[in-house]
Amino acid sequence: MEKNKKQIVGVVTSNKMDKSISVQVERKLKHPIYGKFVRKTKKFLAHDDKNECNEGDTVRIKESRPLSRRKRWTLVEIIERAK
């Protein structure tokens, strides 16, 4: 039985690799002293088995076992296609 894995939503920044995509995830944090909201971004490599994602797509990825040196996420679904 599979445990509940973390899932995150981000935007595809690169699909030039074979069966892999680069996903940029953005989150907003409130600065502890000044109170201003600061945008933090992080990139993840995810496994795209059917090569169906394009740059600009909004996707949901979930964590998985290590597939390569940097790839530890797999594509769950494409939420919105790029225009």
**Domains present along the chain, CATH in parentheses:** 7-80 (2.40.50.140)
Residue-level pLDDT at 62: 97
pLDDT digits (tens, 9 = 90+) for 21-76: 999 999 999 999 999 999 999 999 999 999 999 999 999 999 999 999 999 999 99
Beta-strand ranges (E) seen in the chain are: 7-14, 20-30, 37-47, 58-63, 71-80
Q: Yes or no: say if 32 and 83 are a contact pair by the CB < 8 Å rule.
A: no
- CA separation for the pair 66, 48 (Å, rounded): 14
Q: Yes or no: say if 16 and 44 are a contact pair by the CB < 8 Å rule.
A: no
Q: How confident is the model at residue 2 (pLDDT cuts 50, 70, 90)?
A: low
**For residue 11, is pLDDT > 70?**
yes
Q: Which residue type does 69 have? A: R
Q: How confident is the model at residue 83 (pLDDT cuts 50, 70, 90)?
A: confident
Residue-level pLDDT at 1: 58
